[in-house]
Amino acid sequence: MNQADHERNETGPLHFSEYPGRRERHLLRKLNNPLFPETKREINSGALEEAQRLDHEELVEFITGFRRLVHKAVGLKPNEQSDVILGIKEELDQAYEQAAGVADDQTETKDAIRKLVVMIMNAVRNGATDDPAALQELDQETQARAAHFELLEFPLVADLLHPASPIGDDELVPTLLSASEAEFQAAMTLFDEKQVQELERQARVLLDGLEGGAPPGASGRL
């Protein structure tokens, strides 16, 4: 469904964001989607405006916190204590997850975080030059971080990982079945084998209960 179709919603013109936040994104997933209960498929202007308001508040809070974090990172001293450096590194990883999920185009912010992480990791490496085991562990951490950041390029992954995810337990299966193939595959890496089996069971129940059969592509997912 394209933007024009969205804006012809029977509740009247709806003005969606070019770069929506996590709450607005989830409203869009449900809009006229037969995988969701009928009561959740419609969006009125009030619900949309509230989602956009909360997404904007989250964005402002993120920007404020990120500026403070940048100030801390660039202010590190050459002989800074390791626990301070590691603490900032952890905050940067968390900031990247946040940047991946908030509204507006965060490309520049994510690039800045990557550069700051490299700076922090270099400082950590400088303190471990005589410890081959520590250096190997840092290499593994760097690879894991790169893979995690790649997954976060998919908004669904960022939304699922958020502590206050807008995707309720009862909406997880229809959300996954509605995703693009690439986004679906990325999201499924977040679940263990037992969770995947349970999702498969719920998907069969959902698809078997749909009137008129499953939407194209949905039945082959889980």
pLDDT over 70, % of the chain? 91
Residues 38 and 80 in one domain: no
Residues 149 and 194 in one domain: no
Q: What's the whole-number mean pLDDT along residues 79-101? A: 94
* The amino acid at 22: R
3-state SS assignment for residue 201: helix
Contact yes or no for 69/95 (Cβ under 8 A): yes
CA distance readout (Å), 106 to 51, 92, 93, 120, 178: 19, 14, 15, 21, 24
How do residues 187-202 score in pLDDT, each as one tens digit? 999 999 999 999 999 9
* pLDDT band, very low/low/confident/very high, at 4 (cuts 50, 70, 90): very low
- Domain termination residue (choose one: 106, 133, 153): 153
Residue whose tokens read 């956009």: 52
How do residues 201-217 score in pLDDT, each as one tens digit? 999 999 998 865 666 66
Round to whole Å and give the CA distance between 212 and 39: 18
Inside any domain, residue 50: no
3-state SS assignment for residue 198: helix
* The amino acid at 128: A
Residues 147 and 174 in one domain: no
Residues 128 and 190 in one domain: no
Residues 80 and 37 in one domain: no
Inside any domain, residue 62: no
Residues 24 and 87 in one domain: no
Inside any domain, residue 167: yes
Residues 109 and 81 in one domain: yes
Q: What's the whole-number mean pLDDT along residues 108-133? A: 92
Residues 149 and 191 in one domain: no
Inside any domain, residue 220: no
* The amino acid at 182: A
Residues 178 and 146 in one domain: no
Token output for 138:
């840092």
How do residues 128-161 score in pLDDT, each as one tens digit? 888 899 999 999 999 999 999 999 999 999 999 9
| pLDDT value at residue 6 | 47
What is the chain's mean pLDDT, rounded?
A: 91
CA distance readout (Å), 67 to 9, 113, 165, 202: 39, 11, 24, 43
Residue 88 predicted with pLDDT over 60 = yes
pTM, rounded to two decimals: 0.88
How do residues 8-31 score in pLDDT, each as one tens digit? 444 468 899 999 999 999 999 999
Residues 80 and 147 in one domain: yes
* pLDDT band, very low/low/confident/very high, at 37 (cuts 50, 70, 90): very high
| pLDDT value at residue 221 | 73
Structural domain span for residue 19: 3-43+158-208
Inside any domain, residue 51: no
| pLDDT value at residue 73 | 94
Round to whole Å and give the CA distance between 86 and 97: 17
Residue whose tokens read 């894991």: 144
Q: What's the whole-number mean pLDDT along residues 123-131? A: 84
Inside any domain, residue 61: no
Compute the CA torsion angle 113, 118, 120, 125 (nearest 10 deg). Answer: 160
Residues 96 and 131 in one domain: yes
Number of compact structural domains in the chain: 2
* pLDDT band, very low/low/confident/very high, at 78 (cuts 50, 70, 90): confident
| pLDDT value at residue 127 | 80
Residues 31 and 107 in one domain: no
Inside any domain, residue 59: no
